[in-house]
Amino acid sequence: MERSLHELLEEKYHYFNRTDFIEDDPISIPHLFSDPRDIEIAGFFSAILAWGQRKTIINKCRELMSLMDDSPYQFTQDHSENDLKALIKFKHRTFNSTDLLYFVHFLKGIYSKHPSLEDSFFGLDGENQQPIEKALNRFRNKFISLPDFPKRTGKHISSPEKKSACKRLNMFFRWMVRKDDKGVDFGIWQKFKPSQLICPCDVHVEKVARQLGLITRRQTDWLTAVELTDSLRKFDRADPVKYDFALFGIGLEQKYQFKVA
């Protein structure tokens, strides 16, 4: 008897949402820490740097954490000028030391005002019930607002306003907001709900989603990510982004099968 799409997604979600796969995924970096502030900073950088081969991403993130003395929160808050000099040699693809130094400066300012990076996605009234689209746009506007903002660094923080699918930030949100008993996602952010999340739309996920008829939009942009999430909500309205595990996992299976063949 042929499985329904819902049955397939549920099966693959349960199979890939387990700690066995953490080691080979960028989410392994925030899993090195226990302090929520270290987790969210390590997760933030791991998501921002998540393009290219996963092994390279993980190695570069480990390098960055080492440059921060494996204490990312304390580093961003208490670094000296000499500490910052150690960051000058860091580079991952188009992300260089100019970008990194600004990110550190930005994070220092956020934590001087808020106990969590989560708060930087809110407006002055702290509202979080509007679509996550507004939160992402608000965050980017804050990010580029500091007087010493280097124009080149803006490309590393996407937003729906820029027509981006915002894969990296949506992935970061999944890590921080989703919470279950599987031990993969952290669920340390309480002000956003899993139902508000938008599915990260990377190459693997997009390809599989199109094969399964979950995406019909031709281009890949914010509206594509929303379309995918709306399709997934038909199967789980409270937690649609849990199927990110399934779509990404199916993509990996296809890649593996292709190589074997």
pLDDT in tens, 13-64: 999 999 999 999 999 999 999 999 999 999 999 999 999 999 999 999 999 9
pLDDT at 3: 73
pLDDT at 233: 97
pLDDT at 2: 53
Confidence of residue 260 (pLDDT cuts 50, 70, 90): very low
222 with 135: CB under 8 angstroms? no
Q: Tell me the three state secondary structure of residue 60.
A: helix
Of 175, 78, 181, the closest CA to residue 117 belongs to: 175
Buried residues in 27-60 as b, exposed as e (16+ CB within 10 A): bbbbbebeebbbbbbbbbbbbbbbeeeeeebbeb
Tokens of 239: 């937690």
> Is pLDDT of 256 > 80?
no
Q: Residue range 136-154: average pLDDT?
A: 96
pLDDT at 125: 52
